[in-house]
Structure 1
Amino acid sequence: MASRNRKRPRADDPPQEHRPSKKLRAEGRAQSSSNFAPEFWDNLSKVWLTPRALRELDRRNDARPAPKPLAPAVHTADLARFTRRGGLDLRHLREYPEPRDAKATTMSPKVKKASAYDKNFEQHLADHDIYLPSPNRQAPRPNLDNTRLLFSARRPSLSDSCFDDSAFEDLLQKNETESEGTVMRNVIPIITGNASIPNEGSLPFTNFESLTGDLTVNAAPDFFDGALPGDVDKSVREDLRQIIIPTTHANVPVAPNFFLEAKALTGNAAVARRQACYYGAHGARAMHALQNYDEEEPVYDGNAYTYSATYHAGMGALQLYAHHVAAPTEPEGRPGYHMTQVKAYSLTSDRETCVQGMGAVRNARDLAQRHRDEFIRSANARARQSPNRTSSAQEAKSGQEA
């Protein structure tokens, strides 16, 4: 058994050149509430035309010094000769900034709040090897045959006697809301069931080491499952504290590997999928770190141990995804985090489809818990058998006897 060296880089650590400086971290956090830091836009391999991109363009234009106007040319009063030469010279007006004291008219349209999870955020994820499902991209896919079979298992809690037509009609009525908070309070508990799995939601993952350079926003899933902190050995928690412990709040579940993101009637389904991809990458990294804890070389087995779901109340659309980690494609490169669709259901179409979808979510939660518990047990066992741990315990015992 190889001894644990806490200074040894983890398999999921980004290369040294990809790690943000403290100054960059501070700037990224300070600007994420209104728009991303300038470094975010400078580092994108492709910039998409989104409201946030236009906001950054406006900011940069405002910061540019006003150009020195050229003296207008003097032209003859002979109209024919004047037009033959191309007309009035307006070059001195090029790039002339809008007056800073210009006032918006009362007819100006109201600016709609732009989501942080737009196409440029998706591009930023891809630039950091975090990928959404795409038929146009050749990507390693996990074997999901057994996963789909497990997702389809029938649940006694969703039998005809437990979830009848009246229960289905009640779900449809509660589903008719434009409030995401109402969906989370009234609809999601029906879908997820009442399993005794530690869960939490709407808490920013401020303790996690950034997967993308800390230039965007902290992950903050609507709902996530994890383990009780006390179930993880103290040494494992300390060694992987920025990989498996999402927040510094006491008693918040750790090592999360099931996530759910919900949208109301007017919510954006594409945004929900990007959020699920982002959160699922954090979960996949946590599972991979536990799986390879105290190992000399990381193992990339290509299996998915993290799952996510998105629910759009407006369409009744439930999507389930698997997330797995792939080995770096080049030496000293980053691991790849891949999102793959597993199943999809329309919960509002009929009771039978609704039961199948809700059963798949509950089965996914159970399967995620089995993966999580297995990796935690293995990591705990390796931590307790570590020579470093044994030596420390013996030294402490000798000190007490003395």
Structure 2
Amino acid sequence: MANAHNRKRAPADDVSQEHRPYKKIKSRGRLYGPSNFPPEFWDNLSKVPLTRRALRELDRRNSTRPAPGPAAPAVYTTDLARFARHGGPDLRRLRGCPEPKGAVRTMASSRSTSSSRRTKSAKSTKATDVASKTKPTSAYDDAFELHAIDNGIYPEGYEHPDGRRTPEPNNIDQLLLELAATRASLSPSQFPDSAFRDFKKKHKTASESTVKYNIIPIIAGNTNIPNKRDLHFTNIQSITGGLTVKAVPDFFDGARLGDVHPKIRNEGEEGNLNKLIIPTKHTSAPVVPNFFLEIKAPKGGADVAQRQALHDGAIGSRAMHALMNYGKEEPAYDSNAYTYSSTYHAGTGTLQLYAHHVTPPAVPRGRPEYHMTQVKAFAMTNDLNIFVQGATAFRNARDHAQRHRGSFIQAANARARQSDVETSPEAEITVVIADKNEESTDEFVDCEDYHGSQAVGTEDYTAPEDVEEPALPQDLCAEDEEPSQGLFVSLRPQVNFPRRFYI
């Protein structure tokens, strides 16, 4: 037994797992220190929220405040006992005053205690210096929404200090009817209960990448609308003066670059909209984005997704408004929603749809105001019926965003071509040979008044009987279709006379 006991005991030179030396891993946060927003961001806030970054900014400002100069020495009585009984010197002026740098410690203490304190002080000073580094604010901070409000970007249900609530778009009723239009691809024969059970099963191991590539495609269905994922909007001009991060939608729809007239999209052209409608310098990326999706995994914050959608929707609304007013002397506002955003939270299986619109500045020479309105919300994992309703609204919103986008691009392109004709040094005069007895009428049609129709290469859906479908873009077509020659207006410059010339 003694031998067995000795065999179980580890030898003296054996290093056990308990006492094995280990390498201390420094956390990234301690190594680099936390970053913060620039001082201008905090100075421009109407109200500073109590957040960690706000406290770090307060510490940084306190650390840079100069120490107060020495006060004039007061004359005290030599009777120290009586002086102490009355409370000693008045130290109220020292409250909140930082310790002078390089101050000599005069208190008697052991050498180890003094060294420990100096080490902690040095670490604190280093952390404060690193924390002074700044970065733009993001939707992950509570101050982001307040900063957006200060810049005229109002979230869903926002109530102004004077009691006004953020308005709904003028076309909200029409929009709700359009979102509810049924789709053949979501009929019971096309999307049975087994497909819904498979959709729910995918939520059990849902990471954010799983949601993007396995769950969202079931909701979105098959379509040929140009789209992109996880693309930084590096070319878009900031709405908030550069104090917010660049938008990075998880998913967005847009038009092809070639659909937009070069005079509108190219930098260097007079009145170009490059910084308002071109998200990035990549030529393959969609332009004029006006449909967005923000995704969060089960552990992600739904409030963060909503703030990201607020930022995305304002960018899309501004792009659509810029196209609508391209070439016009004074901007017009119709308070209609032409931009949509959505959020999907995999933890609850909740899909939310929002509409965004622009209204005129509230004060003279102010900036336009951007509003976010929730139009639908669905618990997609609840049952098949609710899933079909949510997927229907999501797909219809994408289709109608494409229709609005194409319509505005078409109108802006027509104005760009018209301006080319007006500035062209050589204009072709059209002479009509006709019978003199024929009644003289004006038959010239302006490009802006021309309207055509074309089928979008997406899934079929049935609109309500009382809904008038908006005109589709003339220069967009499905990938497997050839553009119809009858839908395009001749680009030859012409001079339109009020009456015909007869020969």
The residue that corresponds to 1:163 in the other structure is 191
- State yes or no: 1:116 paired with 2:117: no
Distance 1:54 1:197, change over 3 A: same
Counterpart check, 1:337 vs 2:358: no
Deviations 1:147-171 (A, max 9, x none): 1111111121112122222221222
Candidates 121, 127, 149, aligned match of 1:126:
149
Q: 2:27 matched to which residue of 1?
A: none
Question: In 2, Cα distance between the equivalents of 1:183 and 1:58?
Answer: 40
Match of 1:203 among 206, 231, 234: 231
Aligned residues: 354
Residues 1:154 and 2:177 aligned together = no
**Cα displacement (A) at 1:85:** 3.2
Give the letter for the 1:53 counterpart. A
Amino acid at match of 1:241: N
Q: Secondary structure at the residue paired with 1:52? A: helix
Q: 8 Å contact 1:69–1:93 — kept in the other structure?
A: no
Match of 1:294 among 317, 322, 327: 327
2:339 is the counterpart of 1:318:
no
CA contact (8 A) 2:137 2:243 kept: no
Letter in 2 for 1:48: P
Choose which of 167, 182, 199 in structure 2 pairs with 1:140: 167
Q: Which amino acid aligns with 1:52?
A: R
Q: 1:378 to 1:126 in 2, by over 3 A?
A: same
Match of 1:252 in 2: 285
Equivalent position SS for 1:338:
strand
TM-score by length of structure 1 reads: 0.80
Residues 391 and 160 from structure 1, CA distance in 2 versus in 1: closer, same or farther, beyond 3 angstroms?
Answer: same
How far 1:193 sits from its partner (Å)? 1.5
Q: Which has the higher Rg, Structure 1 or Structure 2?
A: 2
CA distance in 1, matches of 2:192, 2:177: 24
Give the C-alpha shift of residue 87 in structure 1: 9.8
Counterpart of 1:223? 251
Match status 1:101 vs 2:122: yes
What is aligned with 1:214? 242
- 3-state SS of 1:215 partner: coil
Per-residue deviation, residues 225-254 of structure 1 (Å, max 9, x unmatched): 000000111111121101110111121000
Question: Partner residue of 1:42?
Answer: 43
Distance 1:172 1:70 in 2: 72
Give me the whole-angstrom Cα distance separating, in 1, the residues matched to 2:234 and 2:123: 40
1:315-351 CA deviation, whole Å, 9 max, x = no partner?
1111100000101122211011110111111111111
Are 1:267 and 2:288 counterparts?
no
Aligned-CA RMSD value = 3.0
Aligned residue for 2:201? 173
Greater relative contact order structure (CA < 8 Å, 6+ sep): 1
Aligned amino acid, residue 328 of structure 1: P
Q: How far apart, CA to CA, are the structure 2 residues paired with 1:329 and 1:54?
A: 33
Match of residue 386, structure 2, among 353, 357, 361: 353
Structure-2 residue corresponding to 1:85: 87
Gaps of 5+ in 2: 1-33, 100-116, 126-135, 267-271, 428-491, 493-503
Give TM-score scaled by structure 2 length.
0.65
Q: 1:306 to 1:90 in 2, by over 3 A?
A: same
Q: Does the Cα contact within 8 Å between 2:137 and 2:245 map onto a contact in 1? A: no
